[in-house]
Structure 1
Amino acid sequence: MDVGTPLGPPGVAHVNTKAIVQLRSVGKTYASGDNQVAALTNVTLDFLPGTFTAVMGPSGSGKSTLLHCAGGLACVDTGEVVVAGTALNGLSENALTRLRRERIGFVFQSFNLVPSLTVWQNVELPIRLAGRRAPQAEVTAVLAGLGLTDRVRHRPDQLSGGQQQRVAIARALVTRPKVLFADEPTGALDSRASRDVLVLLRNMAERSGQTIIMVTHDPAAAAYAGRVVFLGDGRVVGELLDPTPEAVAAHLTQLEQAPC
């Protein structure tokens, strides 16, 4: 995949019509006291349909900022983000909300479950919020795939942390979004549950054509993806295709040992 496709002439955006998510010369800066900290600098990336990409890098490299900007949770300062053919720059908050609800799924380290709702009700919530009736077969299939069939009537406070995380993942997957952004989606799971979730994500990309972008610190988790993009100091500094845990770990070690 081309991570360095140039922009067209001034005033003309380069568009890869095949990409579900495009970042073009994206920059994002945060204020830190009296200083400005560049979280992302000139990031250009494409994410194609049916691909599972892991984003990795040392602490502070810009991984979560990239995810937030690409998913429309944070505005970019420079450059352009396009999701499913829609440029995010300049969209109203209402338009962004509709896009996120209809085209994007999110999974974060915090579960964000509604405590008064059952597992089933939490999972079907995005469909209800979109004004549609939740197909029972879809909800059942997602819950079964994540090992939650026997927990459908439980509420979050009756579940372990790992189970709550699986409910959050099921809720993000049930609408079969065009792109799923996941920030450490297996962080609260044991090794077996983590493996099951990662296999599910990989199968969704390969069999359903969904685009999955996952931030992780774990080389073993990243190896389930077909591509790993590495960030360093807010810039794209490399990538691996068909990664192995050993290759990912070696690349990370090189980044962490690189001089500033």
Structure 2
Amino acid sequence: MSDAVRLSGVRKVYGKGSGAVAALAGVSAGFERGTFTAVMGPSGSGKSTFLHCAAGLDKPTSGSVELAGVELTGLGENQLTRLRRDKIGFVFQAFNLLPALTVAQNIALPLRLAGRTPDRAAMSEVVHRVGLENRLGHRPAQLSGGQQQRVAIARALVTRPAVIFADEPTGALDTRTAREVLTLLRQAVTASSQTIVMVTHDPVAASFADRVIFLADGTLVGELHSPTPEAVADRMTHLGAWAAA
């Protein structure tokens, strides 16, 4: 299997001189197509910077990022914008839906922005998968938090992206709703070979992934395959001690 995303020796330094801080210190990692990876680490470990660099939202200080066969570091801003629109789906903790648009309009928005007419069959499939058939005419304020996150997932899936980046997608949800949302993401990987990279602090959320990679002080310090919540929690406990040492 080839990688949907690959980071090679990625460093990201903020500030200059004595005030410089290395958020990432030469990280290399690959994410195979059709896999679900969770990214974890203590607060300040570089998780968000890792996600931003992998998704082309932030440029590395050095190193390279390849996404869907395209090297990102040499692209201009317009090229990056097009690539993010066509090849990447995003799911955030805050849902990021447009309040004036209906559920159907929010889901179709990435296609509209790309100048593409939404394919009715593809829309129907995505809507069915997230269980929103009876909510298409509603606006976000009329939905629960879980329903809003389902809209965000449908919006991420509808373009059939090379990869979906999820940043704490269950952070604003109760336990039962979080489990439903994670099951949806898991099904997207299993049934449709979607590639998902998810930053999370929750060992239960991480257990839905195929593997977990751990960051500490901007460095990749290990990974866990077929994770259980207990194994992830145990590794995180030791990571905290490692990072504080």
- TM-score calculated relative to the size of structure 1: 0.89
Aligned pairs, how many?
Answer: 244
Deviation at 1:71, TM superposition (A): 0.2
Aligned partner of 2:52 among 65, 68, 71? 68
Question: Which range moves more in the overlay, 210-219 or 27-36?
Answer: 27-36
Secondary structure at the counterpart of residue 144 of structure 1: helix
Deviation at 1:144, TM superposition (A): 2.9
Aligned partner of 2:240 in structure 1 is 256
Aligned partner of 1:22 in structure 2 is 6
Q: Distance in 2 between matches of 1:184 and 1:153?
A: 27
Secondary structure at the counterpart of residue 240 of structure 1: strand
> Per-residue displacement from partner, 1:118-172 (whole Å, max 9, x unpaired)?
0110001111111211122322332333232222111122223332222112211
Aligned partner of 1:159 in structure 2 is 143
Deviation at 1:234, TM superposition (A): 0.5
Deviation at 1:182, TM superposition (A): 0.3
2:126 is aligned with 1:142: yes
The change in CA–CA distance for 1:244 and 1:117 in structure 2 (over 3 A counts) is same
- The structure with the largest helix share of the pair is 2
Aligned partner of 1:85 among 51, 69, 74? 69
**Do the aligned partners of 1:26 and 1:44 also contact (CA within 8 Å) in 2?**
yes
Aligned partner of 1:230 in structure 2 is 214
2:108 is aligned with 1:124: yes
Q: Distance in 1 between matches of 2:238 and 2:16?
A: 28
Gaps of 5+ in 1: 1-16
Q: Distance in 2 between matches of 1:178 and 1:49?
A: 8
**Do the aligned partners of 1:22 and 1:83 also contact (CA within 8 Å) in 2?**
yes
Identity %: 61
Aligned partner of 1:208 in structure 2 is 192
The amino acid that maps onto 1:217 is H
Q: Distance in 2 between matches of 1:196 and 1:161?
A: 12
**Do the aligned partners of 2:94 and 2:172 also contact (CA within 8 Å) in 1?**
no
2:146 is aligned with 1:169: no
Question: Which range moves more in the overlay, 124-133 or 49-58?
Answer: 124-133
Deviating above 3 A after TM superposition, structure 1's stretches of 4 or more consecutive aligned residues are: none
**Do the aligned partners of 1:101 and 1:126 also contact (CA within 8 Å) in 2?**
yes
Secondary structure at the counterpart of residue 187 of structure 1: coil
> Per-residue displacement from partner, 1:85-140 (whole Å, max 9, x unpaired)?
10001201111011111111111122221121101100011111112111223223
What does 1:36-115 correspond to in 2, within 5 Å? 36-115=20-99
Structural RMSD (CA): 1.7
> Per-residue displacement from partner, 1:19-72 (whole Å, max 9, x unpaired)?
111100000012399611111011000111111000000001011110000000
Question: Which range moves more in the overlay, 167-176 or 37-46?
Answer: 167-176
Q: Distance in 2 between matches of 1:204 and 1:169?
A: 10
Aligned partner of 2:177 among 184, 190, 193? 193
**Do the aligned partners of 1:230 and 1:236 also contact (CA within 8 Å) in 2?**
yes
**Do the aligned partners of 1:106 and 1:180 also contact (CA within 8 Å) in 2?**
yes
Gaps of 5+ in 2: none
The amino acid that maps onto 1:253 is T
**Do the aligned partners of 2:23 and 2:217 also contact (CA within 8 Å) in 1?**
yes
Q: Distance in 2 between matches of 1:149 and 1:195?
A: 20
**Do the aligned partners of 1:146 and 1:196 also contact (CA within 8 Å) in 2?**
no
Q: Distance in 1 between matches of 2:125 and 2:173?
A: 20
Q: Distance in 2 between matches of 1:191 and 1:247?
A: 19
